[in-house]
C-alpha cells in the first residue's frame, strides 16, 4: 500500500481540500460513501426484519437497538455525501442491484442463519471497506471506520449461536456449511462492487496520478479477509 495514499503527512497524500480540487477523487469518495450508506440502510432493514423472528422479547429488543445504531450510521454518511455536493440517493443507486443480489442469494432460512449471516457475511464486507479506508484522506477514513464499528451485533450473535450449538451440536454442521456459502458470495460481491464502479476501483488499484494496491497487495488484502473470516467462524464454534 503506497504511503502516498495514507494521509500520514506525505506531501502527495489526499487532504480534505483535495475533495474539491480533485474531481476524480471526490467522485471516488462519493462512491465509497454511497455503497456504505446503502449497506447501512439495508442493515437497518434486515435487523428490523430479524427482530420480528427473534424467539424472545429480549432478543427482539437487542436487535431493535442495533437497528437504531445502523440508521445513525446511515444518517452520518448521507450528511457527509450532501456536504460533498452529492445527492445521497443518487450516490447509493448504483449499489442497489449488487447488494440486493447478494442478499437475495443469501436469504437466511431461520433465526440462527440470520445471525451467522450478520456476523460472518457483514463482517467480510466491513473488513473490505476498512481496507479501502486505508487509501483515502484522514477525514474520510475516520468516517468509514466510525460507521464500520460494531453495533453490538457481534457479541450478541456469538453468544446466541454458541448457546444454540451447545444445546444441539448437530446445528453446528449446518451453520458451518452456511458460513462457507456466505464467504464465497461475500467475496464475489466485494469484487463485483469494486469492479463495477471506476471510482471504487481507483481507490483500490489506483489511477494514473494516484497509486493504489499492486497485485501482491491485492492478494494480501484478500488473504487477510479470508483469515478474518476463519477467525469469525472459529469464534462462533464453527469449522471454516
Inform me whether the pLDDT recorded for 233 exceeds 80.
Answer: yes
| Mean predicted confidence (pLDDT) in 82-109 | 93
With a CB cutoff of 8 Å and minimum separation 6, the contacts of 205 are: 212, 213, 218
pLDDT digits over 52-88, tens only?
888 999 999 988 888 899 999 999 999 999 999 999 9
The per-residue pLDDT for 32 is 93
Domain assignment present for residue 206? The answer is: yes
| CATH number of 148's domain | 1.20.1260.10
Q: How far apart are CA 223 and CA 124, in angstroms?
A: 12
- Give the whole-number percent of the chain exceeding pLDDT 70: 86
Domain assignment present for residue 36? The answer is: yes
Q: Which domain holds residue 222?
A: 15-236
What cell does 132 get?
479501502
Model's pTM, two decimal places?
0.83
Beta strands (DSSP E) in 124-234 are 206-207, 210-211
125 pairs with which residues across the strands? Answer: none
Domain assignment present for residue 7? The answer is: no
Domain assignment present for residue 3? The answer is: no
| Mean predicted confidence (pLDDT) in 93-102 | 91
Q: How far apart are CA 81 and CA 87, in angstroms?
A: 7
Torsion sign across C-alpha atoms 188, 191, 194, 198: negative
The total number of structural domains in the chain stands at 1
CA 76 from centre of chain: 15
The per-residue pLDDT for 135 is 83
What cell does 147 get?
460507521
Give Cα separations from 206 to 91, 197, 199, 216 (angstroms). 21, 13, 9, 14
Q: How far apart are CA 7 and CA 3, in angstroms?
A: 8
C-alpha dihedral, 209 to 225 to 29 to 104, nearest 10°:
130
Taking all residues of the chain, what is their mean pLDDT, rounded to a whole number? 84
Inform me whether the pLDDT recorded for 214 exceeds 70.
Answer: no
Domain assignment present for residue 4? The answer is: no
Domain assignment present for residue 5? The answer is: no
Domain assignment present for residue 107? The answer is: yes
Domain assignment present for residue 190? The answer is: yes
Amino acid at each position: 500500500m503506497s504511503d502516498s495514499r495514507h494521509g500520514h503527512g506525505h506531501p502527495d497524500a489526499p487532504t480534505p481540500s483535495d475533495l474539491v480540487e480533485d474531481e476524480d477523487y471526490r467522485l471516488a469518495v462519493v462512491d465509497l460513501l454511497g455503497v456504505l450508506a446503502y449497506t447501512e440502510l439495508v442493515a437497518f432493514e434486515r435487523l428490523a426484519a430479524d427482530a420480528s423472528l427473534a424467539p424472545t422479547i429480549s432478543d427482539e429488543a437487542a436487535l431493535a437497538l442495533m437497528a437504531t445504531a445502523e440508521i445513525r450510521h446511515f444518517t452520518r454518511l448521507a450528511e457527509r455525501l450532501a456536504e460533498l455536493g452529492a445527492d445521497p440517493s443518487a450516490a447509493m443507486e448504483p449499489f442497489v442491484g449488487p447488494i440486493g443480489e447478494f442478499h437475495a442469494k443469501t436469504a437466511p432460512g431461520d433465526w440462527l442463519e440470520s445471525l451467522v449471516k450478520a456476523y460472518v457475511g457483514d463482517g467480510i464486507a466491513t473488513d473490505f471497506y476498512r481496507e479501502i479506508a486505508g487509501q483515502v484522506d484522514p477525514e474520510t477514513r475516520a468516517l468509514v471506520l466510525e460507521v464500520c464499528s460494531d453495533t453490538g451485533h457481534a457479541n450478541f450473535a456469538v453468544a446466541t449461536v454458541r448457546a444454540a450449538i451447545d444445546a444441539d451440536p448437530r446445528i453446528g454442521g449446518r451453520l458451518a456449511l452456511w458460513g462457507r456459502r456466505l464467504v464465497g458470495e461475500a467475496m464475489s460481491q466485494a469484487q463485483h462492487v469494486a469492479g463495477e464502479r471506476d471510482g471504487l476501483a481507483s481507490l483500490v488499484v489506483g489511477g494514473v496520478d494516484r497509486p493504489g494496491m499492486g497485485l501482491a497487495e491485492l492478494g494480501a488484502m484478500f488473504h487477510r479477509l479470508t483469515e478474518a473470516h476463519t477467525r469469525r467462524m472459529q469464534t462462533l464454534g464453527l469449522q471454516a
